[in-house]
Amino acid sequence: MLPCPASMTRKGEGSVPASDDQHPPFAALPVLGETGEHHTWDVFGRSDEFGCLNFISERSIVAAAREVRLGRVVNLNLRLNEPQPQFWTDRQPLVHRHTGSRNTRDDVLEHFALQGSTQWDGLRHQRYREYGWYGGRQEPEVDSGTELSIHRWAERGIVGRGVLADVAAWMASRGEPIAPDRRFVIGASLLSAVLADQRTDLHGGDIVLVRTGWLGWYQSMTVVERTAVSDRLNADRRAAQVPGIDPGQETAAWLWDRRVAALALDNPTADALPYVPDEGWAHNRLIPLLGLPLGELWWLDELARICAQQQRFSFLLTSAPLNLPGAAGSPANAYAVL
């Protein structure tokens, strides 16, 4: 990971909000058994189903609305039938067919994988070993009802201040572009350096979008080239080479201490691949332990272009997860409003 240059420390490091003294810092969070892993299960209460989304307040939403200056809406979603070919061997291509009569048309989707395109991974998507899902819930609690269902988020939506950390552009500007087909770990110090260079501060409740450039690279390929990449991912996702978020505790602490409400990337896993056992798995630390929503396959290239043009990397972000009881994930249905 790259250090944050001293010349960049005056602004944009995403410092912990001074007014937020009601939540403990990461280092003071309780530790789960003998794992050495910190968790947030008691911060919002064991019955909580929102996790870090609790950092989004009415006040922060009002402040986020002030980010709108151009009145420009930017789509952050792939089409539902993209990417193609589909990743991971247990997902089949989406089939869209019409039903109806001579005068009407209705739509039916088959093989609709809720996490097959631009998506959120919800709190019932990932468990942490024998300790369970977020809040320590076990299978009977999760499987018998709708606890931790993403429809809870849909009931109020995800609306807040979005921040783009354009890591791909920053690395390219230094003559060290990210290779999309190699493992590249994006950790706390690198995120701080990028935000500092962008002169972008983090506020409590922000939704952070991290651009690696992976999705733009993939979408630019021919069908034959995309198929080859998909085949490599399907063969063994832990052996595939993909840039992504650092899975370590230092980055988890950085996200928690800055009161980040959600994190999304433009790669297929959020995590960097291949998986390195000694480093851990970001999904395991961030979703079940921190309660942090993770987004994957977000379309960030157009947003990055406009942000660079305006030299402003914050905006109002809206996302409407599906109101589907029991769902573990959902299409993001997300837009940036600048």
Give the residue among 315, 317, 290 at the shortest CA–CA distance from 158: 317
Spatial contact of 245 and 272, defined as CB atoms under 8 Å apart: yes
Q: Give strand pairing partners of 107.
A: 98
Q: What integer pLDDT is reported at residue 14 of this predicted model?
A: 43
Q: Indicate the DSSP class of residue 53.
A: G
pTM of the model: 0.92
Q: What integer pLDDT is reported at residue 322 of this predicted model?
A: 97
- All residue ranges of the chain with pLDDT < 50 are 1-19
Spatial separation of the C-alpha atoms in residues 8 and 162, rounded to whole Å: 21
Give the residue among 84, 120, 111 at the shortest CA–CA distance from 230: 84
Spatial separation of the C-alpha atoms in residues 210 and 167, rounded to whole Å: 7
- Write the CB contacts of 240 (distance below 8 Å, at least 6 apart in sequence): 232, 233, 273, 274
Give the residue among 92, 95, 119 at the shortest CA–CA distance from 107: 95
Q: Where are the alpha helices (DSSP H) in 166-300?
A: 167-173, 188-198, 214-219, 223-235, 249-257, 282-284
- What are the chain's domains? 23-337 (3.50.30.50)
What is the pairing mode between strands 106-110 and 95-99? Answer: antiparallel
